[in-house]
Structure 1
Amino acid sequence: MVQGDQDVNQSAKAGAQNLQDLSAQERAVLEMIVANPFVGQQQIADALKLARSTVAAHIVQLTQKGFVLGRGYYLPENKRIVCIGGAVFDRKYHAHAPLISETSNPVSGYRSHGGVARNVTENLARLGVNIGFVSILGDDETGRAILDHLRLLGVDVSRAIVTNEAPTAEYAAILGPDNELALGIADMGIFDLFKPETLETVWPHLASADWVFADCNLPQATLETLLAKKTGSRFRLAVDTVSAPKALRLPQDLSGVDLLFLNLDEAHSLLRHPAGTPRLTAEQAINALHARGVAKIVMTMGAGGVHIGDESGIRHIASVPAQPVDITGAGDALISGTLYCLLDRKELPDAVRTGTLLATLTTESDASVHPDLSAHFLEANLHRIRD
Structure 2
Amino acid sequence: MAFHFNISRTDLLRAIGAQQNITSKKGTLAILSNVLLKVEQNRIIFTGTDLEIGLKQTVPAEVFEEGVLTLPAKKLFEITRESASDTLSFVEKENNWVEISAGPARYKLAGMVSDEFPAFPEFNEETLVDMEGDVLGDLIDKTIFSIAHDKENMYSLTAGLLEKEEVDGKKYLKIISSDGHRLTIMSKEVDGATFDGLTLNPVTLIPRKGVQEMRKFCEENPTFKMGIEEKQAVLKSDESLLIVRLMEGEFPDYRGILNVISRDNIININRVRFLESLKRINLFTEDMFHAIKMEIQDNNLVLTSQNADFGSAKDEFEVGYAGDPLFLGFNCRYFIDTLQVMEGDIIQAAISSDESPCLITSPDDEGFLSIIMPMKL
Query: Fold match, TM over 0.5?
Result: no
Q: TM-score range by the shorter chain?
A: under 0.3
TM-score, normalising length from structure 1? 0.25
- Bigger Cα Rg: 2
Higher normalized helix content (fraction of residues): 1
TM-score, normalising length from structure 2? 0.26
Higher normalized strand content (fraction of residues): 2
